[in-house]
Amino acid sequence: MSKIREILSIISKEGITNLQDLSRKVDLSISTLHALIETMIHQGYLKEVECKGNCGICRINCNSKIKMYMLTEKSMRCVEG
């Protein structure tokens, strides 16, 4: 399984995760994972979303300093295989 597909699969199954946990699960450094996430955004697999605060969608009590990403339709097709 490619790293991109592995990352998308983890995000799809677990919903919310952070870079530290994700980097351990896919055995990549945080800097490498961050670069791969930027590539995935550019390729249309992830979309960066801006949190407006207590929206009720996720379990994180967020603020504007947290970067969040969501899966796109393209990534869902990739995960479903």
pLDDT tens track, the chain, 81 positions: 589 999 999 989 887 678 888 999 999 999 999 999 999 999 999 988 776 666 666 666 666 567 778 889 999 898 887
Question: Residues 44, 64: contact at Cβ < 8 Å?
Answer: no
E-state strands within the chain: 46-49, 68-71
The DSSP bridge pattern shows strands 46-49 and 68-71 to be antiparallel
- For 25-34, letters b (16+ CB in 10 Å) and e give ebebeeeebe
pLDDT of residue 56: 63
What's the predicted TM-score (pTM) here? 0.77
CATH architecture, domain defined by 3-80? Orthogonal Bundle (1.10)
Q: Where are the domains of the chain?
A: 3-80
Are the beta carbons of 45 and 78 closer than 8 angstroms? Answer: yes
**Alpha carbon of 46 to those of 24, 65, 71, 73: distances in Å?**
20, 18, 5, 9
Token digits of residue 70: 């969501």
